[in-house]
Structure 1
Amino acid sequence: MKLSVAVRSPWMANQVALTSKNMLFLGCPRYTPKEDTPALARRDQNGKMLPFPGNGWNAWKPGADGRNAFVYLNSVHVFADDTVWVVDQGSLSADAFPEQFSTPQPGAQKIVQLSSDTGEILKVLRFDDSILPAGAKMNDLRFHGSKMYVTDSGLGAIIVHDFDIGKTTRRLSGRKPMLAKEVKMTLALQPDAKEKPFTPPNSDMIEISQDGEWLFWAAPTGPLFKVETRYLNDAEMADDELEKKVQHVADIEFSSGCAMDTLGNFYFCETKTGKITLLSPSGKTATFTSDPDFVRPDGAFISADRHLYVPRKPREPGGLAETPFAIYSVSLPQSFDGIDIGSAVTGAV
């Protein structure tokens, strides 16, 4: 399948999401002190990317108060109600910033819901130390009905929040299925960069089945795991027992992001290979698209009109293009290599 450029951005983007009316949003992380970027951007009617919501939420600078501003967005997603949900880790990378900026200020790590039309802040969720102990980093989230599931890639855990009763629980914290493995990989984006040992984030990617009965997750190194949500939602079940319910789904190549369709297919964005690998519920795999001239495909998203969107950084002769950054898309066929293809999972019951 051939990718085409959906939009170009003046800022690096590692997350993309669209409403049912194809209103497109990008998550733009502040990777280094050189990054002069908003955290969240929206495509306007002329195709131009602009900071969203365009006020103090996008004006944060290192050292400023991060409670009511976007510090470091690690996830941007749109679900059934067409509002925008973002996960703000509340601190910058310890690899590029001093400790004072790589440790979250109280209340800076949060989940924010915005109106996709106006940018109005609809909800801000913050959790106490029992849910986010020191070292925890909320990574990504999925919904099914009133339940929200969030990965913690810092310590490794699943956070479950029930909006109907306002209760939050932290599950499987630090358990083996939540932890990443050390790998060797190229961390820098220079053509002559060398591979080095690297331990990536813990439980990172997260997806939920169309019927809401299974939650899936993986560290970038894999494997892909799953557990029935009825066990995950049972606060009376101890983690020792819950861990026994976790099932191994598949080993995967190092991946920065993924998406899942309504028929249970996964689309893994492989960091090293530049491939998007399709994994079907039967276990069959296929290379959905591949291009050696692109590096580090990241957080993927399936739109309502059945397009797969993927932020990737294009490689150009002599090195890596700095700007503009490109977000690519491909139309999903009805089937691929004998695998039936579904639509977007929106979290609707």
Structure 2
Amino acid sequence: MPSRTTTRTAALAAALLAGTLLSGPIAAEAQTAPAAAGALTKVASFEHQVTGVTVAKDGRIFVNFPRWTEDSAVSVAEVKDGKIVPFPDAEWNAWRNARKDELSAGDHWICVQSVVASPDGNLWVLDPATPAMAAVVKNGPKLVEIDLKTNKPARTISFDEAVAPQGSYLNDVRFSPDGKTAYITDSGASGAIVVVDLASGKSRRLLDGDPTTQPDKSVTVTYEGKPLRRPDGRGVEFSADGIALSPDGATLYWQAIKGKTLYSLPTSALTGWLTSSLVPEALSDRSLSGKVETVGENGPADGLIISRKDGRMYVTSPQDDSIKVRDLSAKGSALTTLVQDKRLRWPDTFAEGPDGTLYVTTSRIQDSAFYKPDAPAALPTDLWSIKPSATDATGSTTASPPAR
């Protein structure tokens, strides 16, 4: 580990722990009465672009801020007492683009994309280590487990170039109910599914370049009726992004943002290599591709989650500021709209609280400097909660109140 004795690092740590450096506090809105089912409630506002959110078994909320269009002062934080507190400490959050030659990439957050609480109650942090979605920082891609009893890193699983090559962007992760396996989407230039054996730390990149993990050329992501494009004409090109796991751990679901189709595959087809020293033909990308099933069409979507409470899949729909629902128990069922609201500017990532409350971040990708050159580097974003009800998936739509 690098020295922590310099005055600069000490000052940085003090400022970060006070929750005031650049990232600043969040504004948490006190609740005076329970929110009605299907109604949005603002949980927090941030001064920077947020993506991931997760809620631990004890109700602790964690978020992350990727280094996309700014050199974020805080990468991973706990939402606590109305402020974001760098997590697990200031030193892990101390890496900067300007200091990349001073601090080691393996034990600092480089460009965190996702935070997920595992079934055993610990926190896992997925760091693709790809600032600005450009070059992968050497020795940076990793999956880190933090013991929430001690708030200390418990283990780090590093990914080499075979798993996280240049052009990759490890995006989101789900954990098997038995805590043995992690499944990760790669939304980079060549999409893939990464499967990780958590006990050994071994991982394998699967369905690399398969049509089911790639952007759909027939789809153009739009916003307000217009194609969403960068100044150079490029559109939204994200590959496999949203990921969900059935409550029994038997089925994995995923889709590309630049896509419309939701795919699934039995997890048993993805994990056979864990019990064999040889890689059987059954685990070749070509063979796996033949086992992938088409579940239905979601349209361009970002976050996916299957509720532990009701077994339904919730889908974020950035094009129309909405959250939609799919009943997985009825094969071929159509999406219904849970809520459509102008305040959901690019609904991004879901989390589910112990009581079944859903949390969703709004990352405002369409407002970012990627697509609007005059946009501020630090883009304010929000965290929302919503309490679904059994009647919300019957095709009813919660109307959008005036934007504020």
- Give the TM-score normalised by the residue count of structure 1: 0.84
Question: Residue 30 of structure 1 contacts residue 37 of structure 1 at CA under 8 Å; is this kept in 2?
Answer: no
The verdict on how the C-alpha distance between 1:338 and 1:41 changes in structure 2, with shifts beyond 3 A counting, is: same
> Once the 2 structures are TM-superposed, how far is the Cα of residue 294 of structure 1 from its aligned partner?
3.3
Question: Residue 136 of structure 2 contacts residue 167 of structure 2 at CA under 8 Å; is this kept in 1?
Answer: no
Provide the rounded CA distance (Å) in 2 between the counterparts of 1:193 and 1:174: 28
Instruction: Name the counterpart of 1:98.
Output: none
- Helix, strand or coil at the partner of 2:290: helix
Provide the rounded CA distance (Å) in 2 between the counterparts of 1:18 and 1:80: 11
The verdict on how the C-alpha distance between 1:294 and 1:149 changes in structure 2, with shifts beyond 3 A counting, is: closer
Instruction: Name the counterpart of 1:241.
Output: 287
The verdict on how the C-alpha distance between 1:55 and 1:308 changes in structure 2, with shifts beyond 3 A counting, is: same
- Helix, strand or coil at the partner of 2:360: strand
Provide the rounded CA distance (Å) in 2 between the counterparts of 1:194 and 1:216: 27
> Once the 2 structures are TM-superposed, how far is the Cα of residue 242 of structure 1 from its aligned partner?
1.4
Provide the rounded CA distance (Å) in 2 between the counterparts of 1:116 and 1:335: 35
Provide the rounded CA distance (Å) in 2 between the counterparts of 1:130 and 1:41: 30
- Helix, strand or coil at the partner of 1:93: helix
Q: Which moved more, 1:5-14 or 1:20-29?
A: 5-14
Instruction: Name the counterpart of 1:260.
Output: 306
Question: Residue 181 of structure 1 contacts residue 199 of structure 1 at CA under 8 Å; is this kept in 2?
Answer: no
Provide the rounded CA distance (Å) in 2 between the counterparts of 1:148 and 1:251: 25
**Residue 142 (structure 1) aligned with residue 166 (structure 2):** no
Instruction: Name the counterpart of 2:268.
Output: 230
Provide the rounded CA distance (Å) in 1 between the counterparts of 2:343 and 2:167: 36
**Residue 277 (structure 1) aligned with residue 327 (structure 2):** no
- Helix, strand or coil at the partner of 2:215: coil
- Helix, strand or coil at the partner of 1:67: coil
Question: Residue 53 of structure 1 contacts residue 118 of structure 1 at CA under 8 Å; is this kept in 2?
Answer: no
CA RMSD of aligned residues (A): 2.7
- Helix, strand or coil at the partner of 1:123: strand
Instruction: Name the counterpart of 1:173.
Output: 208
**Residue 48 (structure 1) aligned with residue 83 (structure 2):** yes
Comparing both structures, which one devotes a greater share of its residues to helix?
2
The verdict on how the C-alpha distance between 1:142 and 1:112 changes in structure 2, with shifts beyond 3 A counting, is: same
Residues 283-324 of structure 1, C-alpha deviation per residue, up to 9 Å, x if partnerless?
132110111243111111111111010112689xxxx99775
Instruction: Name the counterpart of 2:53.
Output: 16
Instruction: Name the counterpart of 1:333.
Output: 389
Question: Residue 360 of structure 2 contacts residue 383 of structure 2 at CA under 8 Å; is this kept in 1?
Answer: yes
> Once the 2 structures are TM-superposed, how far is the Cα of residue 163 of structure 1 from its aligned partner?
2.7
The verdict on how the C-alpha distance between 1:186 and 1:213 changes in structure 2, with shifts beyond 3 A counting, is: closer
Question: Residue 220 of structure 2 contacts residue 227 of structure 2 at CA under 8 Å; is this kept in 1?
Answer: no
> Once the 2 structures are TM-superposed, how far is the Cα of residue 132 of structure 1 from its aligned partner?
2.5
> Once the 2 structures are TM-superposed, how far is the Cα of residue 133 of structure 1 from its aligned partner?
2.9
Provide the rounded CA distance (Å) in 1 between the counterparts of 2:247 and 2:311: 8
Give matches, 1:103-182, under 5 Å. Answer: 103-144=135-176, 145=178, 146-154=180-188, 155-182=190-217
Residues 102-140 of structure 1, C-alpha deviation per residue, up to 9 Å, x if partnerless?
312221111111123543111111122332333222111
Provide the rounded CA distance (Å) in 1 between the counterparts of 2:285 and 2:345: 38
Instruction: Name the counterpart of 1:99.
Output: none
Instruction: Name the counterpart of 2:109.
Output: 70
Aligned residue pairs: how many? Answer: 324
**Residue 85 (structure 1) aligned with residue 124 (structure 2):** yes
> Once the 2 structures are TM-superposed, how far is the Cα of residue 166 of structure 1 from its aligned partner?
4.4
> Once the 2 structures are TM-superposed, how far is the Cα of residue 186 of structure 1 from its aligned partner?
6.0
> Once the 2 structures are TM-superposed, how far is the Cα of residue 194 of structure 1 from its aligned partner?
6.9
> Once the 2 structures are TM-superposed, how far is the Cα of residue 175 of structure 1 from its aligned partner?
0.8
**Residue 4 (structure 1) aligned with residue 33 (structure 2):** no
Provide the rounded CA distance (Å) in 2 between the counterparts of 1:22 and 1:11: 23
Question: Residue 302 of structure 1 contacts residue 308 of structure 1 at CA under 8 Å; is this kept in 2?
Answer: yes
Instruction: Name the counterpart of 1:291.
Output: 341
- Helix, strand or coil at the partner of 1:242: helix
Instruction: Name the counterpart of 2:94.
Output: 59
Q: Which moved more, 1:143-152 or 1:257-266?
A: 257-266
Provide the rounded CA distance (Å) in 2 between the counterparts of 1:291 and 1:246: 34
Provide the rounded CA distance (Å) in 1 between the counterparts of 2:286 and 2:225: 46
Gaps of 5+ in 1: 95-101, 340-349
